[in-house]
């Protein structure tokens, strides 16, 4: 009888193990089916894009290409929000972007573009924070031309605001500001008049120009005004008569 009991116990254990394996196999197959269902692009496709925020310079096809990334359908569960955000952040005119998924089929994208302040070194831009960036030139409004070492962009931008305010109060339009490698300032006024201001006493020298320029004749032929003097300035003329005039002293 003891042998018979042991046989029944062993048979029950084997049956229990077989039942456990069968259950686990069933759960595994169910998990595979659920995974296939969740990752099936034909189920719960991301079919709606909600774009929020200002986007003047970004093109719709650039945004669409970044969102789709070569795929016409995106499954809700498979879409990697961080990956999509990185692709959108890589677009040249994008400053900041956030991406969210909304059940069951919507992608919500909020983005801000670079707030462009001026052109930088001819082929790039500087934003209102003084950061230099590269982007396709889609700006139709006139921008001031700034130039100098890249690490001085914020300084040049701030200075341009100060010089523009000072000159505009007297009717002069500032078109460009350059900071030379030796940290000297050069300004360009309407009419392509160059002002060589130097490295110190900038406001004083600009005031000297404002006071003296109205008496210079003929003003339309002035090519540059060199203000790098303690009490005077020198004038260079356009065309064949481009020469340095005697210093005008107050």
- For 113-141, write each residue's pLDDT tens digit: 999 999 999 999 999 999 999 999 999 99
**178 burial type by CB count under 10 A (0-12 exposed, 13-18 middle, 19+ buried):** middle
Spans of all domains in the chain:
48-113, 117-237
Q: What is the pLDDT of residue 8?
A: 57
Selection from 160, 93, 176 nearest residue 133 by Cα: 93
Looking only at the bridges linking them, the beta strands covering 116-120 and 124-127 are: antiparallel
Q: What is the pLDDT of residue 184?
A: 97
CA atoms of 215 and 153, how far apart (whole Å): 35
CA atoms of 209 and 225, how far apart (whole Å): 8
Instruction: For the domain made up of 117-237, give the CATH fold.
Output: Rossmann fold (3.40.50)
111-120, pLDDT tens digit by residue? 999 999 999 9
Sheet holding 94-102, edge to edge: 48-52, 106-113, 94-102
pLDDT at 19 over 70: no
Interhelix angle 81-89/60-68, rounded to 10 degrees, is: 150
End-to-end Cα distance, the chain: 130
CATH of 48-113, one of 3.30.70.20, 3.40.50.720, 3.40.220.10, 3.10.20.310: 3.10.20.310
- The more confident residue out of 106 and 211 is 211
Which is it for the CA torsion 131, 132, 134, 137, positive or negative?
Answer: positive
Instruction: Count CB-CB contacts under 10 A for residue 100.
Output: 12
């Amino acid at each position: 009888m003891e042998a018979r009991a042991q046989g029944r116990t062993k048979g029950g254990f084997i049956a229990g193990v077989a039942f456990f394996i069968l259950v686990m196999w069933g759960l595994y197959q169910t998990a595979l089916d659920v995974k296939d269902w969740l990752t099936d692009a034909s189920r719960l496709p991301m079919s709606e894009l909600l774009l929020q925020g200002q986007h003047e310079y970004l093109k719709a096809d650039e945004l669409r290409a970044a969102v789709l990334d070569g795929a016409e359908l995106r499954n809700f569960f498979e879409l990697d929000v961080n990956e999509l955000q990185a692709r959108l952040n890589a677009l040249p005119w994008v400053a900041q972007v956030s991406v969210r998924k909304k059940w069951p089929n919507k992608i919500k994208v909020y983005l801000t573009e670079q707030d462009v302040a001026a052109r930088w070194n001819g082929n790039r831009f500087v934003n209102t924070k003084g950061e230099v960036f590269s982007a396709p030139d889609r700006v139709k409004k006139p921008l001031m031309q700034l130039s100098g070492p890249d690490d001085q962009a914020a300084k040049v931008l701030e200075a341009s605001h100060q010089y523009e305010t000072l000159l505009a109060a007297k009717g002069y339009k500032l078109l460009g500001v350059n900071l030379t490698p030796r940290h000297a300032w050069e300004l360009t006024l309407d009419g392509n008049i160059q002002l060589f201001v130097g490295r110190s006493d900038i406001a004083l020298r600009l005031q000297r120009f404002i006071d003296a320029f109205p008496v210079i004749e003929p003003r339309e032929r002035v090519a540059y005004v060199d203000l790098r003097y303690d009490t005077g300035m020198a004038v260079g003329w356009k065309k064949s008569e481009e020469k340095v005039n005697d210093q005008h002293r107050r």
